[in-house]
Structure 1
Amino acid sequence: MPHTLLVNPTITSRQSARFPLALLNLSVTLDRFGGSTIVDGNIDRDIVDATLRAIVENNVDAVGISVMGGPQMAPSIAVSKAVREHFPRLPIIWGGYFPTLYTDTALSAPYVDYAVRGQGEETMPDLIAALARPGRDVSRIAGMSWKDADGNVVHNPNRKFHLDDPGIVLPYDKLGDPRRYLARTFLGRRTAAHQAAIGCRFRCTFCGVAAMFGGTTQLPAAARLDRDLSYLKHTLGADSIQYFDHNFFDREEDMIPLLDVMAKHELPWWCYARSDALLNMSESTWKRVRKSKLRMAYIGAESPSGAMLKEIRKGTRPDQTLEVAELCRRHGVIPELSFMVAPPENTVEETEHTFEFIRELKRINPASEIIVYIYTPLRESSKHEKDRGKRASTPLLDMHGEPVVFPSSPEEWTEKRWVDYACHADAPWLTDDLRRHIQDFVTVLRCRFPTVQDMRSPPWAKRGLSALAAWRYQRRRYDKPWELNLANRLVKLRLPQVAGI
C-alpha cells in the first residue's frame, strides 16, 4: 500500500497558521488506497528537516507539495531540492495554485516530476497508484502534467471538478494537536478555519480561483456542514469560524439549508462574498444570516470604474458597492471591501478615482474595512483554458514601455519584485512616485480608521493614531505622513491584506 507525504511549505507565522484544508481533504482520498502523512511548515518551522524526517519514518513512496506563488515559493523550492538530494528516486509532485497557473514553469525545475492541475482529490490517488505499478504509465491520468523520457512537458486532459463527501470528519489528528490551529481573532478566542464550498461560478479574468476552477462551484450538503461544525465546536472547542469558501453566498435557495445549520451552531463567522449576491437576498434569508452571527464579509469591490469592472468580467457595478455598504450597516455586518489600484492603463487617474470612492464608502458606512491592492492581472496563458483568447487584451508594459516578461523558472518567482506581484503589492508599470503615493494613502487611511481585526494594539493607541491622522484624511494630505510612520513603529497596526483576520 503506497504511502504519500503531503507538505504545506511555510507561508505564515505560527500564530497565523490555519488548518491546511486542501491537504486534509487530499489525505482522505489517499488513505482509501494507502496511507498519508502531513507536514505543515506553518507549525514545523524547519520544514526541510521535518520533511526529511517524515520520509524516513514513514517509508514514503512519493512527496506531494502544495505550492502557491509569493512567499511560499522559496520554502517550496528548498523542500523539493532537499528531497531530490537525499532521496533522488522519490517522485516529487507539485499541486495547488502555482502549478495550475504556471504548469510549464513548475515542470521546468529538475526537482519537480509531476504537476497536478486544479483539484487533486481524484488525480493524486490515480497518480500514486500509477507510480506504484511497473512502467509508471501516467499518460491516461486526467488533470496532471508530466515530463517524458526526453524531458518534454506533456499535458494530460483536464479533469472535471466536483465536491465529494467523504462521510467522515477530516483527519485533523494528522496535524498533531488540532487545537494549535485555533486562533484568537476579533470573531472569538478560538477561531477555526473551514471551507464548506469550493470553486466560484464567476470568471473574473484577474482571479486565480477562476483560472483554477473554470467557473465551477460546488456546495456541500447541509448534513456534511452540520457534521463538520459539530466536530469543530464540540470536540475542538472552536467558538467562531473563518470560512475560506471562494464565494460563500452563491444562489440564495441553495444557501438556506446551510444558513439554517449555521444558525443552529451560532458560531460567529467571516467569509468571502459578492455585493450583488448580498443585495439580492430576501429579508427572510438576511434573518437567517443575522441568526447565524455573520460578523464580516470580504467583498471584492475591485474598482469604482464600471468600464474596468466590465473589462475584468467582475459582473458587478460601482453603485452596488455603495449599496452593499449601507445594507451591511443595517444588518450589523462589517463589509471588508477590497480594491485594486494602479491598473496598467490610466494608472494615476484610476488610482485617484478609487481613493475618492473609498472616501464615499467611509461616509456611507464608517465601519467599512478597506483593503487596497495593486492590480496585477494573470498572464493570458495562466487563465483557464475556456477563457484564453476570449477578448483582445492590451499587452502589459512596464514603466519604460517595454513588454512585461514573466518568470520562466520557480527560482525567478522568488525574486522580491515577483513575490510582490503575486501578492498584489507591486507591479512593473508603477513609478516610484505613484508607489509612494499609494503607500502614503494607505497609511493615512489605516491610521484614521484602525481595523477591528487588530487584537494586539491597545485601544488607547488606536484612538491616538486615529486622532493624529484625522487632519490629513480630512484635507487629503496623504503624502509623506512622517509622524504616522513614526507612530506606526511603536504601535504596529495589523495589516489585514498581509495577515488576514
Structure 2
Amino acid sequence: MSFHDMPFRPMPHSPRTLLVNPTITSPSSARFPLSLLHLAAALDRTGESHIIDGNVDRDVVGETLRAMERTHFDAVGISVMGGPQIEPSIAVSKAIRERFPQTPIIWGGYFPTLYADTALAAPYVDYAIRGQGEESLPELIAALGRAEPDFAKIGSLSWKHDGAVVHNPNRRFSLGDSGIVLPYDKLGDPRRYLARTFLGRRTAAHQASIGCRFRCTFCGVAAMFGGTTALPAAARLERDLSYLKYELGADSIQFFDHNFFDREEDMIPLLEVMAKLEMPWWCYARSDALLNLSESSWKLVRKSRLRMAYIGAESPSGQMLKEIRKGTRPDQTLEVAELCRRHGVIPELSFMVAPPENTEEETQHTFEFIRELKRINPASEIIVYIYTPLPESSKHEKDRGKHPGMALLDLNGEPVIFPKTPEEWMEKRWVDYACHADAPWLTDELRRHIHDFVTVLRCRFPTVQDLRSPTWAKRSLSAMAAWRYRQRKYDRPWELNLANRLVRLRMPQVSGL
C-alpha cells in the first residue's frame, strides 16, 4: 500500500517535520547541512522540525527510525544529491516506508530537481520539491494537514495524481531573511562542524548568495535557478558571520555560494564586511568577474584575506566555451591566473576533459593549457573532471530545446540512455557520471591517460589544502614527479602510484576542503 492509498489523518495544530541529510562524506569532512538549516528556520515559523545529519550520525537509517519512534512526525524531508548520496537516500526512504507507511516522504535538493520523474518513479517517494524549498515545503506540510489538500497551487512541487506525475510551475526563488540566525542548535553542538583546513583551525561553512545569473548548459545550478541570483544584504552577511566568529569561534569561512563574485557594485558592500571581519575565506568565482574588479575592490579583497577562489575555467577551447554558454574566454583564464598571483589569491581552476566530440584532441589541448597556467602562476590549483553534460530533460524549463548539443553516444555509437529509477543511479557507472569521473564515450586508454596525467600533476604540485601528508613526503613526491612532468611522460607512473599508497595525497576534486 502506498502513502496515497492511506486514509486521511489530520495533523495536530503544530506540524512536526523530520529533515534528513543522508551520508555523503566522512565525519572529518562534514560541514553544516545548510539547506536543512534554512528549511528548519522556515518550518519553525508555523511548526516544529528536527534534523538528522548522516555525515555526523553515521547510522542514518537507525537514527531516523529511532527519532520517529520517539516522536510523531507528520512528514519526512530528505535532501538528495546525485552520486554517492543516492544509495543512503534510498535506504532511509525504504526503511521509513516499511516501518511508518503512513508518513509522507518528500525528496528535495539537486537530484529531484534535475530528475523529478525519476525520483517519483520510486514507490517510497511521495513528493519532490524542485529548487528552493523554503516556501514550497512549509506549504506542502500545511496542505498535508488538510482534509482536501490542494497540491496544484504549490509552486515547484512535483507529485503523483491518479497514477501520473504532475509538475507544478516553478516558483521564483528569493533570498528571504527571517531576521534570525540559522538554528544551529538543532545540530547538537555546532562547533563539531568547525574543521581544521588550510584556511584556519576552525573553518565554518556558510552560504551568502544563491543561484547564478549565468546559464551554462552543463551546470546543475543553472538547471535549478534558471540564470537568476540573489545576494544578501551586507547587514545580514555581517550578522551571520559575526555569529559564526564570535559565538561559535570560527576563524575562517568556506563559502558554499553558487557564485560569490558578481557585479562589482553589488559586491563592494559584501567585501567591506569581509574586510572588517578579516577571516580567511574560500569561495566560487568567475574569471571575468575578478578581472572586472577595480583596484579599490582588490584592496578590500586583500584586506578580507581571501585565500583561494574556485574558478570554472572548463576548457581552453573558445568554441566549446561558447557551446556550453560559459560566457568567458580562454585568455581570461590566463589573465586571472596572473591577476590572482599579483594579489596573493590562489586560483583553483577546474577543467572538463573528454567531451563527447573531439574527445582525445580536446583532452590533450587541455593538458597543454594547464601547463601554461602553471607556468604563469605555479601556485594555481588544478581540478580535472570528465565532461558529463546534463540530459535535456534535466535543464531548466527556460533552456530546454535551446542550444541543443550533439547527441550523446557511447563507444558503440548507441544513444546514451539515462537511468529511469533511483536504483539505476546507484550503479557505479552512473555514480561516476554524476561525479564527473567517467563517461560512456571514454575508451579505456583515454580513461587511463587522464588518470595518469592527474597523478603526475598532483604529485608534482601537491595541493596546499593537504594538511594530512607530511611536508617531507609531499616534497619527495614532487621531486619524483618532476622528470615525468618536464618531459610529458605521464603514462603508467607506477612509482608515483606506489608512493601514493603510502602518502595518500589529498584530492580536492574528491574531498574539497
Matched, 1:19 2:32: yes
Whole-angstrom CA distance in 2 between matches of 1:327 and 1:137: 54
Whole-angstrom CA distance in 1 between matches of 2:253 and 2:273: 13
Matched, 1:345 2:362: no
Choose from 18, 39, 42 the match for 1:5. Answer: 18
**Residue 4 of structure 2 corresponds to which residue in structure 1?**
none
Whole-angstrom CA distance in 1 between matches of 2:389 and 2:400: 13
Choose from 279, 304, 325 the match for 1:267. Answer: 279
Choose from 423, 443, 446 the match for 2:458. Answer: 446
Amino acid at match of 2:62: D
Shift of 1:52: 0.8
Structure 1 residues 371-392: Cα deviation after superposition (integer angstroms, max 9, x where no partner)? 0000000000100000011123
Structure 1 residues 7-36: Cα deviation after superposition (integer angstroms, max 9, x where no partner)? 000000000000000110011110001000
Matched, 1:379 2:388: no
Matched, 1:51 2:57: no
**Residue 135 of structure 1 corresponds to which residue in structure 2?**
148
Amino acid at match of 2:129: V
Whole-angstrom CA distance in 1 between matches of 2:169 and 2:289: 33
**Residue 354 of structure 1 corresponds to which residue in structure 2?**
366
Matching of residues 180-329 of structure 1 within 5 Å = 180-329=192-341
Whole-angstrom CA distance in 1 between matches of 2:227 and 2:67: 37
**Residue 30 of structure 1 corresponds to which residue in structure 2?**
43
Whole-angstrom CA distance in 1 between matches of 2:449 and 2:324: 25
Shift of 1:170: 0.2
> Does the Cα contact within 8 Å between 2:323 and 2:403 map onto a contact in 1?
no
**Residue 122 of structure 1 corresponds to which residue in structure 2?**
135
Matched, 1:157 2:166: no
Shift of 1:56: 2.3
Structure 1 residues 341-380: Cα deviation after superposition (integer angstroms, max 9, x where no partner)? 0000000000000000000000000000000000000000
Amino acid at match of 1:116: I
Choose from 157, 176, 189 the match for 1:144. Answer: 157
Whole-angstrom CA distance in 2 between matches of 1:384 and 1:198: 16
Amino acid at match of 1:407: P
Whole-angstrom CA distance in 1 between matches of 2:262 and 2:68: 41
Shift of 1:486: 0.1
Structure 1 residues 469-501: Cα deviation after superposition (integer angstroms, max 9, x where no partner)? 000000000000000000000000000000011
Whole-angstrom CA distance in 1 between matches of 2:404 and 2:247: 53
Structure 1 residues 431-468: Cα deviation after superposition (integer angstroms, max 9, x where no partner)? 00000000000000000000000000000000000000
Choose from 156, 165, 176 the match for 2:188. Answer: 176
Matched, 1:94 2:94: no
Amino acid at match of 2:382: I
Choose from 476, 479, 488 the match for 1:464. Answer: 476
The number of equivalent residue pairs is: 500
Structure 1 residues 101-154: Cα deviation after superposition (integer angstroms, max 9, x where no partner)? 000000000000000011000000000000011123312111101001x32101
Choose from 87, 97, 116 the match for 1:103. Answer: 116
> Does the Cα contact within 8 Å between 2:313 and 2:349 map onto a contact in 1?
yes
Amino acid at match of 2:441: W
Report sequence identity in percent.
81
**Residue 6 of structure 2 corresponds to which residue in structure 1?**
none
Shift of 1:393: 2.1
> Does the Cα contact within 8 Å between 2:84 and 2:431 map onto a contact in 1?
yes
Whole-angstrom CA distance in 2 between matches of 1:416 and 1:393: 25
Whole-angstrom CA distance in 2 between matches of 1:397 and 1:56: 48
Amino acid at match of 1:258: L
Amino acid at match of 1:102: Y
TM-score, normalised relative to structure 2:
0.97
Shift of 1:300: 0.2
Whole-angstrom CA distance in 2 between matches of 1:343 and 1:275: 22
Secondary structure of the residue aligned to 2:501 is helix
Choose from 358, 373, 376 the match for 1:364. Answer: 376
Shift of 1:59: 1.3
Whole-angstrom CA distance in 2 between matches of 1:151 and 1:2: 27
Shift of 1:251: 0.8
Shift of 1:205: 0.2
Secondary structure of the residue aligned to 1:204 is coil
Secondary structure of the residue aligned to 1:136 is coil
Shift of 1:53: 1.3
Amino acid at match of 2:239: R
TM-score, normalised relative to structure 1:
0.99
> Does the Cα contact within 8 Å between 2:94 and 2:124 map onto a contact in 1?
yes
Structure 1 residues 234-289: Cα deviation after superposition (integer angstroms, max 9, x where no partner)? 11100000001100001101111111111111100000000000000000000000
Secondary structure of the residue aligned to 2:37 is helix
Amino acid at match of 1:359: R
**Residue 405 of structure 1 corresponds to which residue in structure 2?**
417
Whole-angstrom CA distance in 2 between matches of 1:17 and 1:442: 26
Whole-angstrom CA distance in 1 between matches of 2:70 and 2:235: 37
Shift of 1:430: 0.2
**Residue 76 of structure 1 corresponds to which residue in structure 2?**
89
Whole-angstrom CA distance in 2 between matches of 1:156 and 1:23: 22
Amino acid at match of 2:318: G
Secondary structure of the residue aligned to 1:315 is coil
Where structure 2 has 5 or more consecutive residues not aligned to the other structure, the ranges are 1-13
Runs (4+) off by over 3 Å: none
Whole-angstrom CA distance in 2 between matches of 1:319 and 1:391: 24
Whole-angstrom CA distance in 2 between matches of 1:170 and 1:234: 15
Amino acid at match of 2:102: R
Supply the RMSD in Å over aligned alpha carbons: 0.6
Whole-angstrom CA distance in 1 between matches of 2:69 and 2:279: 41
Secondary structure of the residue aligned to 2:27 is coil
Whole-angstrom CA distance in 2 between matches of 1:107 and 1:260: 45
Matched, 1:426 2:432: no
